[in-house]
Structure formats: structure tokens, C-alpha cells
Chains A and B, each alone.
Chain A
Amino acid sequence: NAGVMQNPRHLVRRRGQEARLRCSPMKGHSHVYWYRQLPEEGLKFMVYLQKENIIDESGMPKERFSAEFPKEGPSILRIQQVVRGDSAAYFCASSPGLRTRPSYEQYFGPGTRLTVT
């Protein structure tokens, strides 16, 4: 059973460009979380999605950031018009969900390291 997959692992963008980060959850997992980690800091929650639904986006910046988890395909975190302050590691996590069985554990991907030049 493959783990959570994220790509690309490293992404370099110039200021003003768009960044697209992809996350494929573990097989059978229908819940996806995105987190951002600045250097020397802990992870900060951004958004929680289920298939075709955004459940909680309280950690997302109001502008330039968006996320989706379509019926088919990976979850996408999109950052438009990137700025230097967007440089960080972005982690995706998945879990089986709350209805199938109690699962508080989240399984993390290796992260995408975004560098904005």
C-alpha cells in the first residue's frame, strides 16, 4: 500500500508565477489535510478537504491560495502570484475518515519544498 505521495518534491517559482502542488492520499483514504511549515517552525494547518468538498479552510490565506480534491485525481493546492513569503514546505496528510472507524492518525507525505525567487 503506497503511502501519501506528493509532487513535485521541490518547486522553484519566480515571483508572480503560479505554483501547483499535488497530493495523492493513501489508498482508501478520503480525507486530505494540507499544512505549511516555515523553517525552524512547526506545521500550520491550512485546509481540510473530502472528495469534492472543502470542509475547513480556516488556515488558508484569503487571497491567492486555493485547494481542491476532485472526484478523480489528486488533491491540488494552488498558489497564484507567488511571493517570497510563500517559500516553505507544504505537507499533505490523509486519513481514512471519521465514519469508517475512529482514526485520529494522519499519514503524511514527504512534502513539497517551494522556493520563490
Chain B
Amino acid sequence: SQQGEEDPQALSIQEGENATMNCSYKTSINNLQWYRQNSGRGLVHLILIRSNEREKHSGRLRVTLDTSKKSSSLLITASRAADTASYFCATPSGGYNKLIFGAGTRLAVHP
């Protein structure tokens, strides 16, 4: 079964607005990662947050982690058309860092 589940499944916003995506997971983790995938391309690692961190920033990205609720959120501020992509959360599993991905949030940013 899926470890991570994102919501919403799809999000459509205007340039300049903020986009918030959420991810829930089921088992204990030592970190959670967010990836971006442009249409027809591979995945790009965005940010990793460890289980002992509550919030992390990288440029226009802000990630939060609530281990008590087993949830994380990704906020993209001042969105741009180039942010249009699918965003996935992933958690390592099995002691070997194999990643378990959610189904993703498809973000469309309109100029």
C-alpha cells in the first residue's frame, strides 16, 4: 500500500499565488523527501526533512513535518508558471532507503 498520500490530487493557481500540498504517511520515518517531476521527465529532489525537524526552507519552498500526525506539507510561495509539475512526497522504507512514493499532486500555475 502507499506510504505517502498527497492531497490535493490536482491544484490550479495563478502566478504569484502560493501553493500548498499535503502528504500523509503511515509508518514511522527518519526522513521525508519531496520531489518534482516535470511532464515526461525524471524526478528532481527538492528537499529532505528529517524526523527531528519541524520546518525547513529552501528558496521559495517551505516544508513542515508533524510526526505526531504523520503528515507533511510543501508550500511554494510566489508561484511561477515554471513551477507547473507533479510533486511527490516519498519516505524511505525497509532500512535500505528504497523510497515509497505517494500518487502526487499535479500543480498547474497559470500566467
Contact = CB atoms under 8 A, between A and B. Distances in A.
- Judged by DSSP, the binding face of B is strand
Nearest to A58: B94
Contact of B31 (A35, A45, A104): A104
B41 A43 contact: no
Interface of B: 2, 4, 30-31, 33, 35, 40-45, 48, 88, 90, 92-94, 96-104
Contacts of A56: 94, 96, 98
Given A105-B45, A110-B42, A45 B103 contact: no
Interface footprint category on A: 20 to 34
B98 A43 contact: no
Interface in A67-117: 91, 93, 95, 98, 104-111, 113
Given A56-B96, A91-B43, A108-B35, 18 more contacts: A33-B98, A42-B2, A42-B102, A43-B88, A44-B101, A45-B93, A45-B100, A91-B42, A104-B30, A104-B48, A106-B99, A107-B45, A108-B42, A108-B43, A108-B44, A108-B45, A111-B41, A111-B42
